[in-house]
Structure 1
Amino acid sequence: MVERAVSELSPGMVLAADVLTPGGRFLMPKGTVLDAGHLKSLTAWNLAAVVVTGDAAAAASPTSRPGPEAEGLPAEDREAVAAVVRERFGAFDTAGEAGAVLFRLAVDREIRKRQAAGPEPVQAAVAEDRCRRPAEAGALGPLTPDVLLRDEPKLVSPPEVYLRINDVLRDPASTVEDAADSIRHDPSLAAKLLRLVNSSYYSRTMRAVSGRFPAKVDSLSRAVVVVGARQLATLALGVSVLPLFQDIPPNWVNMRLFWEHSVGCAAAAQAIAAATGRVNAETAFVAGLLHDIGRIIAFKQAAAHMGTAMRQAEAESRPLYLTEREVLGFDHAALGGHLLQKWQFPTNLEKMVRYHHDLEEPLFIDEPAVIHLADIVATAMGWGGSGNRRMPALDADAWAILGLTGGDLAGLVPVMEARLGETMRSFFPDHQGPP
C-alpha cells in the first residue's frame, strides 16, 4: 500500500482503504478501481491524498521479471515455471507494455501454484491438457452456424426465464418489481444472483448507501435496488442460459475449467469496463461470461472439425480460434454471436461476443475491445481453460482505445482475480479459488 496525492492518481489504480470526506462521511470503499469520475469526485472534495494498492510508480514501469513470489525458489524451478508461461504466450509480444506486465504476473501466479501444491501439478496440468485431444477426426463436411444451431434442440429457442428477463430489458418502462418478478420464478437462478450480489464487489455498493439495507441482501427486490433493475436483469440474462451449456464430454474439455476461464474473462471485463467507462460493468461481465459459448456448441455439434482444429493449433502453436476459422469456416466467437442474435440478445452483448477476436469488422470497437483484452488477461493468467492453449495477439487499436497503461493493468489484475474467486464460489460453492 502507498499513499498518493490525488493529483498523482490515474484511472485503473485501486483504493487500498476506504475514503472519507473531510467531514468523516463515507465516500468510496476499499477496492474501488478508480475511473475518471472517481478522480473528479476526489478532486471536488479537496482531498489531499488516498491510499492505493502497490507502488504505482513501479507499476508504471513494468518489466517481465518475476515478482516477489519468486524469492526463495530454486533457479531451475523458476525457469521451469517461466517455460510453462512462455509456451502459453507463444508469439505474444512480451516486450510490449501489456505483454511485459502480463508475463510477469503470469509467472508469479504459476510460482504461487507450485509453492502451494509442489512442482508436479504444473507439469501434470499441461500433460492432462494434451491428452484431451481426440485421436480421430473423422470425415469433414461443410458447416454453417445455422446448421449447428438447428441440430441442437435446446438452442432452437431460449428458456422461458430468459424470455421474461428479455421482456424487462426491452421495455424502458419496466419497474423494480418487474425485474424481480422476471427472476423469482426460477429459484436456482434467484439463488445464484443473490450469491453474486452478496459478494464483496456489491457489498461495497451497499456500504456506500449504509442504513438502507441489512448486512446481507436476502430478496430480489433489494438486489435490484443495489445493482439496478436493468443491470440485475442483464446479469440474470447471462446466468439463465448457463445450464444449456454443461454437458460436454470430458475428452474435450473439463467443464469446471471452462467455466473458470469464462468467469475469469467476465471478472476481467467487469474491471476493465469500470476502469475505462467504455461499457456498463454488468454488461461487460455477461459478455465475458458468454464469450466462448460458441466453442461449446462446436464441441458438441462439430466434434470431428474441432478435433482437427485443436490438433492443428497444438502442432502449429497457434490460438485455437485461428484454426477454427480454417477448419470450420468460422470461429467460436462468430458462432456464439450468431446464437445471441437469433435469441434477440441486446445488440451490444451480441456484438461484444461476436467480435472479440475480429476487431476490424465492427464500426466501433470500444465495446468488443473490452472482451478482447479480458480474454487475453484470463488466458495469460491461466484462469481455467476452454480448449485453447495459446494467447491471441493483442490488437493495437483495442489497447489504444481503452486508454490503459501497463501500470493500470498491473493494478487491475489482482482485483480481477479476487472477483474470479468470489464468482466461482457463487456458481460452485466448493471452489477453492486461484492461489
Structure 2
Amino acid sequence: MVRRNVTELRAGMVLAEDVMTPGGRFLMPKGTTLDPGHLKSLLAWNLPTVAVNQADGEGAFPSASGPGAPPAAAPGPDLAEAAEAAVRERLLWLDLEHEAGQVLFRLALEREIRRRVTVQEAGGAGEVHGLGQERPERTDRPNRSDEAAPPPLASPEALLRDEPQLVSPPEVYLRINEVLRDPKSTVEDAAASIRYDPSLAAKLLRLVNSSYYARTMRAVEGRFPAKVDSLSRAVMVVGARQLATLALGVSVLPLFQDIPPHWVNMRVFWEHSVGCAVAAQAIAAASGRGNPETAFVAGLLHDIGRILAFKQAPAHMAAAMRQAAAERLPLSFAERGRLGFDHAALGGHLLQKWQFPANLEKMVRYHHDLDEPLFIEEPAVIHLADGVATALGWGGSGNRHVGALSPAAWEALGLSGDALARMVPAMEARLAETMRSFFPDRPGPL
C-alpha cells in the first residue's frame, strides 16, 4: 500500500483502503478500481491523499494529459457539498443506517458529483435533466390556483371508465396474450404472434441482440450466429414464454406517449421506466426471486398508472404534485390522499383488466405496498429496482424523493449491499443499450 496525492491518481489504480470524506462520511470502498469519474469525485472532495495498492502507486505516472488524467483543476468542496445536499434531499425518506441505504447514498453521491463536474466543465451551460436534477417548479401547470382540490375518486375503475382506448389493448397484444395463456403454444406460435407487428418485432430483435443476452448465446456457441436476425431464433435464445412476456409489455408502450410536456417529459419518463426494468431484471436474476423477463416488463410498466392519472385526473395530480413538493413527500404518498389510491394500484388494475399474467400484475400493483400481498418476493424486486432507479437519477416520472425501503423486501431478496453495488455498473450499461433499442433514431439517455 502507498499513499498518493489525489492529483497523482490515474484510472485503473485500485484503492487499498476505504475512502472517507473530510467529515468522516464513507465515500468509496476498498478495492474500487478508479475510473475518470472516481477521480473527479475525489478531486471534488478536496482530499489530500488516498491509499492505493503498492503496485499501482509505484513507478512513473503517465502524462497528465493522458486518458486517465484527472481534470486540470479541482472543482472544489462547494460542488461536493451541493451534490451531497441534493442527494440527501432525494433520499430523505431512505434509512441511511440500513445496508441498502448506505450503498444507494454512496452510489448516488458519486454520480451526482460527476454530473455536476460535467456541467461545470462545460461552462455551466445546460442542466442534466432526467439524471437526478429536477426541473424548476413551473408556474403554468394546470390547476395552480389556491382553490380546494377536487375530492378523491371512487376507485381506479372510475378513472378508467372514460378512456375506451385503454379498455381495448392493441390487437397484437391480444394475439401475444393468447399464446401466453395457451400451454400448448409452440415456438412458431410465439414468433408468429409478434411478427404481426413489424415495429414490435424490430424492437424485440434489438433487445435480444443486446449484451445482456450475449451470455445466453455464448452458452450455446455454435448453434446461433453472432447476430439474432429472426424471431424464431430469438424465441430459442430467450425462450418462447419469456419473449412473449417481453413482447406483451413492449406492445402497449405506444398507448402512453401523448402526455403534455408540462406534466412530464416522456423520454425522461421512459428512461426511468427502462432503468427500473433493467434493475429489476438484474435483481431477479441475482436473487432468484421471479423470472428476469417478467421482472423486466413489470419494471417497464411499473409507473403506467401515473401516466393514466396525468391523463384522466389532471386536477388531482396537480394537487398531489404540489403537496409532495411542499411537504417533501414521495409522490405516491400524496397520490393516495388526492386520488384515493396511488399509481401502483391504478396500474395494477389496468394490467388485471388486460389479463396480464397475475404475478406480473401483482409486481406492479404492490411495489409501493408490500404489506398487502401474501408473498412479497416478486413485488420486492420492483420495490428495490424503483428505489435504485430513483436514487441514482435514471430519468424521472414526477417523483422527487425515494420512498422508504422495506426491510422485509430487502430480507426477502437475500442480497447484500456489496452485491447490489457490484450490479449497478452493468445496470447502467444495460440502460443505455436498451434506450437505444427502444429509441434507435434519437440521442442516448438524457
**Letter matched to residue 70 of structure 1:** S
Q: 1:317 to 1:135 in 2, by over 3 A?
A: same
Pair 57,170 (structure 1): closer, same or farther in 2 beyond 3 Å: farther
Following superposition, the deviation at residue 58 of structure 1 comes to 6.8
Q: Is the 8 A contact 1:189 1:239 kept in 2?
A: yes
What SS class does the counterpart of residue 260 from structure 2 fall into? coil
- CA 1:394/1:133 → structure 2, altered by over 3 Å: closer, same or farther? farther
Aligned twin of 1:402: 413
In 2, the alpha carbon distance for the partners of 1:91 and 1:179 equals: 43
Structure 2 length as normaliser, TM-score? Answer: 0.81
- State the secondary structure of the residue aligned to 1:65: strand
Q: 1:72 to 1:283 in 2, by over 3 A?
A: same
The equivalent position to 2:404 in structure 1, one of 393, 397, 415, is: 393
User: Cα–Cα, structure 1 residues 230 and 414, in superposed 2: closer, same or farther, change >3 Å?
Assistant: same
1:376 is displaced (CA, Å) by 0.3
Corresponding residue for residue 385 of structure 2: 374
Cα pair distance change 1:56/1:166, threshold 3 Å: farther
Runs of 4+ in 1 over 4 A off after TM superposition: 54-59, 66-69, 119-127
Q: Which residue of 2 aligns with 1:24?
A: none
- Give the corresponding residue for 2:89: 87
Q: Is residue 181 from structure 1 mapped to residue 192 from structure 2 by the alignment? A: yes
Q: TM-score, normalised by structure 1?
A: 0.83
Change (3 A) 1:141 1:220: same
CA-atom RMSD in angstroms: 2.1
The one-letter code sitting in structure 1 at the alignment partner of 2:41 is A
Name the counterpart of 1:361: 372
1:273 aligned residue (284, 307, 322):
284
* Alpha-carbon separation, structure 1, partners of 2:289 and 2:308: 29
Is contact 1:64–1:101 with CA below 8 Å preserved after alignment?
no
Shift of residue 166 of structure 1? Answer: 0.5
Does the aligned pair in 1 maintain the 2:271–2:445 contact within 8 Å? no
CA contact (8 A) 1:424 1:431 kept: no
Cα deviation for residue 57 of structure 1 reads: 10
**Structure 2 contact 40–117 (Cα < 8 Å) conserved:** no
Residue identity in the other structure for 1:286: V
Deviation at 1:247, TM superposition (A): 0.4
Determine the structure 2 residue equivalent to 1:337.
348
Within-5 A mapping of 1:257-268: 257-268=268-279
Inter-CA distance 105–255: structure 2 relative to 1 (3 Å threshold): same
Q: Relative to structure 1, is the Cα distance of residues 384 and 370 closer, same or farther in structure 2, using a 3 angstrom cutoff? A: same
Confirm whether residue 140 of structure 1 aligns to residue 117 of structure 2: no
1:92 deviates by 1.4
**Which secondary structure does the structure 2 equivalent of 1:195 belong to?**
helix
Is the aligned partner of 1:206 residue 2:206?
Answer: no
| Corresponding residue for residue 100 of structure 1 | 102
Match of 2:55 in 1: none
Aligned-residue identity in percent: 70
1:170 Cα deviation (Å)? 0.6
Map 1:52-91; keep pairs closer than 5 Å.
64-65=26-27, 68-73=39-44, 74-91=76-93
> Is 2:421 the partner of 1:413?
no
The answer as to whether partners of 2:280 and 2:299 remain within 8 angstroms in 1 is yes
For 1:160-193, what per-residue CA distance to the aligned partner results, in whole angstroms no more than 9, with x for missing partners? 1111101111111111000000000100000000
Cα offset for 1:352? 0.2
Shift of the alpha carbon at 1:281? 0.3
Alpha carbons of structure 1 residues 173 and 263: separation in structure 2 relative to 1, 3 Å: same
Asked if structure 2 preserves the Cα contact closer than 8 Å seen for 1:64 and 1:104, the reply is yes
Residue 124 to residue 262, structure 1, CA distance change in 2 (3 Å): closer
AA at the equivalent of 2:215 = R
Deviates more, 1:422-431 or 1:65-74: 65-74
**Structure 2: distance between partners of 1:124 and 1:255:** 12
Deviates more, 1:108-117 or 1:246-255: 108-117
Q: Is residue 93 of structure 2 the alignment partner of residue 131 of structure 1? A: no
Separation (CA, whole Å) in 2 of partners of 1:425 and 1:285: 16
Shift of 1:95: 2.1
In 2, distance between residues paired with 1:85 and 1:122? 16
Change (3 A) 1:133 1:291: farther
Aligned partner of residue 368 in structure 2, secondary structure: coil
- Structure 1 residue 207 displacement after superposition: 1.4
1:347 to 358, 363, 368: 358
Per the TM alignment, residue 433 of structure 1 is displaced from its structure 2 partner at its CA by 3.9
Which of the pair has more CA radius of gyration? 2
Q: Say whether residues 1:431 and 2:440 are aligned partners.
A: no
The Cα of 1:346 is off from its aligned counterpart by 0.4
2:111 maps to a residue whose letter is R
CA contact (8 A) 2:152 2:338 kept: no
**What amino acid is aligned across from residue 263 of structure 2 in structure 1?**
W
* Cα offset, 1:285, TM superposition: 0.2
The count of corresponding residues between Structure 1 and Structure 2 is: 378
Deviation track 1:22-68 (CA, whole Å, cap 9, x = no partner) reads: xxxxxxxxxxxxxxxxxxxxxxxxxxxxxxxx989979xxx742555
Q: Distance in 2 between matches of 1:273 and 1:231?
A: 14
Distance in 2 between the 1:188 and 1:212 partners?
A: 27
2:169 maps to what in 1?
158
Q: Distance in 1 between matches of 2:178 and 2:15?
A: 47
The residue type equivalent to 1:140 in the other structure is P
**SS at structure 1 position matched to 2:237:** helix
Which structure dedicates a bigger proportion of its chain to helix? 1
